Structures are given as structure tokens and as C-alpha cells.
Structure 1
Amino acid sequence: MSLFPVTYSLLSKQAVGLHIQHNYKIGSVVKIQYFLRGMNDTYEVESDVDKYIFRIYRADRRSRPDIEFELELLRFLSANGIGVSEPIPGKDGAYLSGFNVMEGTRYGVLFQYAEGHELPIHAAAESYRFGESIGRMHKAADHFESQFAREQLDMEFLIDRPLSIIRSYMEHRLTDVNYLSEMATELKKRISELKVQGLDWGVSHGDLHGNTNAAWTEDGKLTHYDFDLCGYGWRAYDIAEFRLAREIHSRHDPEEVERLWKAFLRGYCSVRSLSENDLAAVPVFVAIRQLWLFGLCFRDSEFVGIADFDEGFIDSKMQYFKSLEYV
């Protein structure tokens, strides 16, 4: 009897725990919890030695070269003094474990546990420190080279593909689809004009919102993690996500948005310069990031369900896009 095709499978945490026990030198596994289902599956692992994170990548999202690039970047950044959650090799020296499941091969990686806690940024000092750390990360990544191919965070990735996904879910709202298409054309035009004058391009984290993906300790140590969206892209796009997160979380206080944004830029520019052209591109990339996230929500509805992405959700997104002044 043939098995019915699946899009997404969830691995047993008990089996994952046994795999980690047998394949890594981390002592005895005493506890494993399924921590988060996001763009990948994340398990929290505790041994009699330390705590760890085990991530299992989705087969439809990440190939082996994609993941190898990410891990190579993390090791490079750590070797250059950047605080990141490093991957941990298995007993055989390999960083990746392959799990053959119904939808294909899913790869798992064990990571160091980032000590500290997530800190929603509301103070200028925190914003400055975060900006400084990103400046150092970008400065170090300027010298990174990889033998593995990785998808670029270009216009096809950020605009064309998300827009195609959005169209397929909004066929009943053609007026809104046409609006988004015209907006996307304008956004691409704006970036093309800025590219002529020069935009900083290099390895980027891809998800620097500053709410999660970074752990802070009491003594000020900052550790970055979740590089799943990393790749070669515009640095203005990378920092635009921090700006967008401030706009979302402080939308009722524009002065706070500017205060935190300026503190972030002071921190960043204390270690690495940004051109006026890059800064001019940030508002455009804020809009592009929202378009990309809109498409991501619809795409991931395939495995989280469409219930939360109803007409009210679409209405709120359209209201946002129509309120933009710099498009």
C-alpha cells in the first residue's frame, strides 16, 4: 500500500533526543522539549552538562548547501569575535544530521544555547548596543567567503516571488492585487535608482528585528542567533527590519521610533559607516519587508492553517500599504 503524500512531518521528540544522545558528545540528555514551530522546528535540549538548541529545517525550505552556508557563516563570525550561537559537530565531525521523512530529507543541527534573555528594545542605550553589534557583524561579514551557494536577497526574492504568492490568495480582490502590483513596480524603481548611486551589498542576517533572535545577559553580553534567513543582500534591507519593528511596536509614539532609530544608527556607525544613499533606501526597504512578510504569511498558511489570514488580516495589510508616504 502506497503512503499518502505529506507537506510537513513532525519528528518525535523522544526519537530526536535519542539521536542527539547517540551522536553528540554532550553528556547524558536528561530533558528535551519541542520548543517552537516556526519556519523550522526547534527543540530545547538539556543534558547533565549544559543546555542546547536542536533545529530541524523544513525540507521544502532549505537544501543542504543552504544550511552549510549558514553554519560556515556562524563559525566565521564566531572566529572573528562576533557573539553568535555556534553549531556543534557530532561525534563524526559532521554538523548536519539527515532525517529521511515522507516529504524528503530534513536536516538537523545542534546549536549552543544563547545565554541570557530576549529583550524588546525600548531604551536608547539598548538600541545603541544592538546597532553597534550589527555594525560589527556586517564589518566582519565583509570578509566572509563560502564554498556553498546561497539564495540572494534580491528583488526576485523580496518582491517578485511574494507578490506571486499574494496574487494566488487574493484572486477575489483584484483591485487590491492591482494596487500591490503597482506599488511593487514603484518600489523596484526606487531601489534601481538608488543602486545607480551605490548601495552596500554583502552577507546579511535577514531578520534583525531586535525583539527576538538575540539574547542579552545581565552583564551586557549580546548573542545573535537564528540566521536561517541569511544571505547576500542589501545592508539597508538588513537594518530596515529593525526600523520596521520599532514602527510596529511604537506606532503610537513616532518620537520614540525616531529616538530608538537614531540611537541604533549611532551605534552602527561607531564601528562601520553607512552612506546617505543607504539611509535613504531604508524606508523603501521597510515597505519591501512588509510585502515580503505578507507573502510569507500566505505561504506558511500551507502548514499553520489559513484561519488567521482572513479578510480582516488582508484589510489591515492593505491599510498599511495605502498609508505609506514614501512609495
Structure 2
Amino acid sequence: MFFPVSYSTLSDQAINEFLKNQYGLDGTARTGYLLRGMNDTYLVTTAGQKYVFRVYRGDWRTNESEIVFEMELLQHLDKQGISVSLPIPDRQGNIIQKLQAPEGTRFAVLFTFAEGEERGIDSEEISERFGKDVAGIHLHSASFHSSNTRQELNLDYLISQALDFIHPRMTHREQDFRELQGLAGKLEELLHDIGLDTLDWGVCHRDLHGNTNVSYRDDGSMTHYDFDLCGYGWRAYDIAEFRLAREVRLGHDPQQLELLWNAFLKGYQSVRTLSENDLRAVPVFVAIRQLWLFGLCMMDPHIMGSIDSGDDFIDEKLDYFKSLSILKDDISA
């Protein structure tokens, strides 16, 4: 009898043999474990090609329909001229694999490799180009339709569920959690004051920070990947992640932060327009993104461990929310 498993790391040697058999990769194929995150990423190399094999976590993507949605979106964007990492069918034409791991079924997909390199956005030129690409994703996903299900990125998902993940890790600090609940409620009120029904809604990548999930080539072109978080949501939330990433990296240099943010908006709005309400909602969604990330960190200590999300981590997050100017100023006027 085997002891129950919450999460397993699949053997890269076994995956290598699986890929050779399932996809007909040549005998030079080598597979190495690249990254642990919301899914496991393996780099696959042959004599002439590179690929990425993603194994979805068994506790994260349990509904195959959600993964089909992601694959259909990637294929749609590719047909619309957006450079994305694409799923590769096996020799039977199947895109999604089902691997029987100790914790149960885990879905997996082989992707084309995004040529180029990851890099931080450190210039107005790159920021503007990235803004154009993000706008292109939003523009061309408007014609995307799927019969498959996907979690909507509504306030219940972004706020209520995040608080549900946080609360069990803060039972020893009940008063602090109640204060966090109150601050989250104020963020929701701000969005209602702006007018949720006036905000641009559609397919979002939902992890468009610009530091990873995109490969930059020497000619300035980009290939986007890791659409695992994609779904229908507010576009202001999607671009808020770019803003948040700049605030985290450049909080000590507000002038540079604003230069890069304005360059991003210039590029974005050269492709499609953002309304005044969408722009006013961005700082609120920046804070909501932080809340969602807070919940994400508290969701999976059984995989990532809890040592980095203890009281010091909680203090840091609470200090962030208490310092938010948008919770002190009226932005709805």
C-alpha cells in the first residue's frame, strides 16, 4: 500500500520515453525538469528542435474542458497573426495527454518552443511594443468563441475566493483578517462606483507582467506563452498586472515607473482604445491582483511549503493594503 500523495514530480526520464513513443521524437530527444509553478514545465530538446512539455497540477486543472479552452484560444490567436507558443498533436492527433500520477490523473500538453529570451522591461521602447502586443491579444480574442467552460474572472473569484484561501492561514490573527476583509470590501465598492458594467470585458491572458510568459527576439518581435490562467474578465485587470510588476520593481523610482507605464498605454491605445473608466479602474485592479496573489500563496502550502508565507509575509501584505492611497482618496469623482 502506497502512502497518499498530494503532489508528485514526474520522472523526466520517463517523460522522455513517453514523448518519443507518443510523438515520434527522434532518438536524440532529452527531457529536463525546468520549472515548478502552477504547473510543471519540462524542456525537451532534439538534434534540431526544442519543445516545452507542460504537466498540469492535479489539484489545479481537474476539468479537461478548461484546458481545451486554452488550446482553442492559442490556435485562434495564431490564425489571427499573434505569435504564441502552440500545442502540438501527437501521432494520433491528440493534443491533451492524460498521465496517471500517484495523486491521480494529470493532464499534459507538448508546446512549440518560444524562441528568444525572457527579459525585464527596462525601456520605453520595449514597454510600448509590449503594450501593442497586449492590445493585439485583446483585439483578436474578441472573435474567439468556445463551447468549453472556463472560470470567469469575476469579483467572486478574484476577491471572495482569495479571502477563502487566506482565512484558514490567519485564524490566529482574526482581527487582522477582519480588517483585510473590510479593505477588500472597499476595493469592491470602488469598482461599483466606477461602474462595473461600463468596463471592457473579454478574454484575458491574466498574467501579462512582461517579465516572463513572453520571449523577446532581437528584431523586437515577441512570442507569448503560458495561457494557463486565461479566461473571461475585465481588460483593466489584465493590464493591471503589468502596472503591478512595474510597481514591485520600480517602487523606488516612481518617475521611471510612470515613463514605462505611459509607454505601455501609448502602445496599447495605438491598437485599441481604453475608456476613461477602464483607466480609472486599473489602480483598483492592481490592488485586487495583489489580493488574488496573496490568496494564491496561501492556497498551496502542501506543494510550495508554508515557511515563506508565515506572519512576516502576512504583515507585508497587510501593510501594503493599509497604505493604498485609493482606499483613502475618492477616485470615483
TM-score per shorter chain, which class?
Answer: over 0.9
- Could you tell me whether the CA contact under 8 Å between 1:29 and 1:45 is conserved in 2? no
- The TM-score with structure 2 as length reference comes to 0.96
Q: Could you tell me how far apart the structure 1 residues matched to 2:165 and 2:321 are?
A: 17
**Hey, what does 2:237 align to over in structure 1?**
237
> Residue 14 of structure 1: CA displacement?
0.7
Q: Could you tell me how far apart the structure 1 residues matched to 2:231 and 2:27 are?
A: 35
Q: Could you tell me how far apart the structure 2 residues matched to 1:29 and 1:58 are?
A: 28
**Hey, what does 2:131 align to over in structure 1?**
131
TM-superposition CA deviations, 1:12-58 (whole Å, max 9, x none): 11110011101114433432110001110000000123000000001
**Hey, what does 1:163 align to over in structure 2?**
163
TM-superposition CA deviations, 1:236-264 (whole Å, max 9, x none): 00000000000000010011111100000
Unaligned runs of 5+ in 1: none
**Hey, what does 1:215 align to over in structure 2?**
215
Q: Could you tell me how far apart the structure 2 residues matched to 1:175 and 1:64 are?
A: 40
TM-superposition CA deviations, 1:89-124 (whole Å, max 9, x none): 101011011011232210110001100001100100
**SS in structure 1 of the partner of residue 122 of structure 2:** coil
**Hey, what does 1:251 align to over in structure 2?**
251
Tell me whether 1:110 sits opposite 2:110 in the alignment.
Answer: yes
- Report the residue type matching 2:273 in the other structure: S
Q: Could you tell me how far apart the structure 2 residues matched to 1:260 and 1:26 are?
A: 43
Q: Could you tell me how far apart the structure 1 residues matched to 2:221 and 2:265 are?
A: 19
**Hey, what does 1:4 align to over in structure 2?**
3
- Report the residue type matching 2:245 in the other structure: A
Deviates more, 1:192-201 or 1:142-151: 192-201
- Could you tell me whether the CA contact under 8 Å between 2:203 and 2:230 is conserved in 1? yes
**Hey, what does 2:204 align to over in structure 1?**
204
**Hey, what does 1:194 align to over in structure 2?**
194
- Report the residue type matching 1:304 in the other structure: M
**SS in structure 2 of the partner of residue 54 of structure 1:** strand
Q: Could you tell me how far apart the structure 2 residues matched to 1:298 and 1:220 are?
A: 37
Unaligned runs of 5+ in 2: 328-333
**Hey, what does 1:153 align to over in structure 2?**
153
**Hey, what does 1:266 align to over in structure 2?**
266
**Hey, what does 2:330 align to over in structure 1?**
none
Q: Could you tell me how far apart the structure 2 residues matched to 1:49 and 1:31 are?
A: 12
- Report the residue type matching 1:284 in the other structure: V
- Could you tell me whether the CA contact under 8 Å between 2:214 and 2:222 is conserved in 1? yes
**SS in structure 2 of the partner of residue 110 of structure 1:** strand
> Residue 193 of structure 1: CA displacement?
2.7
**SS in structure 2 of the partner of residue 172 of structure 1:** helix
> Residue 197 of structure 1: CA displacement?
5.6
**Hey, what does 2:35 align to over in structure 1?**
36
- The TM-score with structure 1 as length reference comes to 0.97
- Report the residue type matching 1:24 in the other structure: Y
> Residue 277 of structure 1: CA displacement?
0.4
**SS in structure 2 of the partner of residue 220 of structure 1:** coil
Q: Could you tell me how far apart the structure 2 residues matched to 1:173 and 1:58 are?
A: 30
TM-superposition CA deviations, 1:114-142 (whole Å, max 9, x none): 00001100100010000000001100001
- Report the residue type matching 2:5 in the other structure: V
**Hey, what does 1:55 align to over in structure 2?**
54
Calculate the aligned-residue CA RMSD, in Å.
1.1
**Hey, what does 2:304 align to over in structure 1?**
304
**SS in structure 2 of the partner of residue 87 of structure 1:** coil
- Report the residue type matching 1:4 in the other structure: F
Tell me whether 1:178 sits opposite 2:178 in the alignment.
Answer: yes
Percent identical pairs in the alignment equals: 51
> Residue 196 of structure 1: CA displacement?
4.8
- Could you tell me whether the CA contact under 8 Å between 1:54 and 1:111 is conserved in 2? yes
**Hey, what does 2:84 align to over in structure 1?**
84
- Could you tell me whether the CA contact under 8 Å between 2:159 and 2:288 is conserved in 1? yes
- Could you tell me whether the CA contact under 8 Å between 2:20 and 2:29 is conserved in 1? no
- Could you tell me whether the CA contact under 8 Å between 1:26 and 1:50 is conserved in 2? no
- Report the residue type matching 1:185 in the other structure: G
**SS in structure 1 of the partner of residue 53 of structure 2:** strand
- Report the residue type matching 1:162 in the other structure: A
- Could you tell me whether the CA contact under 8 Å between 2:214 and 2:223 is conserved in 1? yes
